[in-house]
């Protein structure tokens, strides 16, 4: 499948901001936890993987998928690091601590360079442990209205990240490209805004939602790494997306807001 450079650029400029804008609007409507699950979808790393197939071939994209799978556990470390520090410090310290935790776990997995099966076991087991120890957090009682530039800023940052990583992919290598594509920019934005506007509880709630959604995120890249070389682009991405949507549906159910006291039960 060949696509000209101008066609690839157009895809990057259209697909990524559309996905991020839609996810951000959905998160505003259904709460911080739901927003965290939604941004766990491979909204940036998925398009990056797609463009890597087109630009560098299936073998390179399979290696990048392994890097992105490792990045799922690194994101889990980000959630734990941020939540632990948010109890005692403001968002700048919490974000910095989360970023350091992401870098440490990502570097360790990058150095190990595990093949697909053991890497899958390590990532999914690690996410399960992180889910057990992650604080639950709380939704904001009186959420502040976000600034008008919030969603446009997210769209610009997402698009810039996709452009930068796909341009630098040949220099960075497949696994490092895949790993860096998973840095939780959008979950970080959700957490920082929630922390600054309503305190650490809502920020932790958003990151717990992200953590719940990372099982589906990781599964996306497990399927992609397993199928992209032998199954082709359409089959691999279709199967990966189907598995992810099922698991994300379960994650949304897990983090759904509790009914208000005295609310009538739904039938």
Domain ranges of the chain: 5-254
Q: Which residue has the tokens 């009538």?
A: 264
180 has pLDDT over 90: no
**What is the pLDDT confidence band of residue 266, given thresholds at 50, 70 and 90?**
very low
Please tell me the predicted confidence (pLDDT) of residue 143: 55
263 has pLDDT over 60: no
- Averaged over 117-122, what is the pLDDT? 96
Neighbours of 53 (CB within 10 A): 23
3-state secondary structure the chain: CCCCHHHHHHHHHHHHHHHHHHHHHHHHHHCHHHHHHHHCCCCCHHHHHHHHHHHHCHHHHHHHHHHHHHHHHHHHHHHHHHHHHHCCCCHHHHHHHHHHHHHHHHHHHHHHCCCHHHHHHHHHHHHHHHHHHCCCCCCCCCCCCCCCCHHHHHHHHHHHHHHHHHHHHHHHCHHHHHHHCCCCHHHHHHHHHHHHHHCHHHHHHHHHHHHHHHHHHHHHHHHHHHHHHHHCHHHHHHHHHHHHHHHHHHHHHHCCCCCCCCCCCCC
Angle, CA of 102, 106 and 109, to the nearest 5°: 150
Ranked by mean pLDDT, which of 68-77, 140-149, 175-184, 243-252 comes out on top?
A: 68-77
40 has pLDDT over 60: yes
126 has pLDDT over 90: yes
Please tell me the predicted confidence (pLDDT) of residue 1: 44
Give me the chain's average pLDDT, please. 82
Residue pair 224/236 in contact (Cβ under 8 Å)? The answer is yes
Higher-confidence position of 161 and 233: 233
């Amino acid at each position: 499948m060949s696509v000209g450079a101008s066609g690839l650029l157009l895809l990057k400029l259209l697909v990524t901001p559309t996905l991020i804008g839609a996810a951000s609007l959905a998160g505003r409507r259904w709460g911080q936890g739901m927003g965290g699950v939604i941004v766990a979808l491979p909204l940036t790393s998925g398009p990056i993987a797609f463009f890597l197939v087109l630009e560098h071939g299936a073998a390179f994209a399979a290696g990048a998928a392994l890097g992105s799978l490792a990045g799922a556990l690194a994101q889990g470390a980000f959630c734990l690091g941020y939540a632990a520090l948010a109890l005692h410090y403001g968002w700048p310290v919490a974000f910095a601590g989360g970023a350091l935790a992401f870098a440490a776990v990502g570097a360790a997995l990058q150095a190990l360079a595990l093949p697909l099966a053991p890497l899958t076991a390590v990532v999914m087991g690690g996410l399960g442990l992180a889910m057990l120890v992650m604080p639950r957090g709380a939704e904001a009682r009186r959420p502040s209205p976000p600034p008008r530039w919030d969603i446009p800023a997210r769209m610009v940052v997402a698009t810039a990240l996709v452009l930068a990583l796909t341009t630098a992919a040949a220099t960075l290598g497949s696994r490092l490209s895949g790993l860096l594509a998973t840095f939780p920019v959008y979950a970080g934005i959700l957490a920082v805004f929630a922390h600054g506007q309503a305190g650490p509880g809502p920020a932790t709630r958003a990151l717990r939602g992200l953590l719940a959604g990372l099982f589906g995120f990781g599964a996306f890249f497990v399927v992609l790494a397993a199928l992209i070389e032998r199954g082709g682009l359409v089959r691999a991405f279709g199967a990966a997306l189907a598995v992810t949507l099922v698991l994300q549906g379960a994650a949304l159910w897990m983090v759904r807001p509790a009914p208000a006291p005295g609310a009538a039960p739904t039938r």
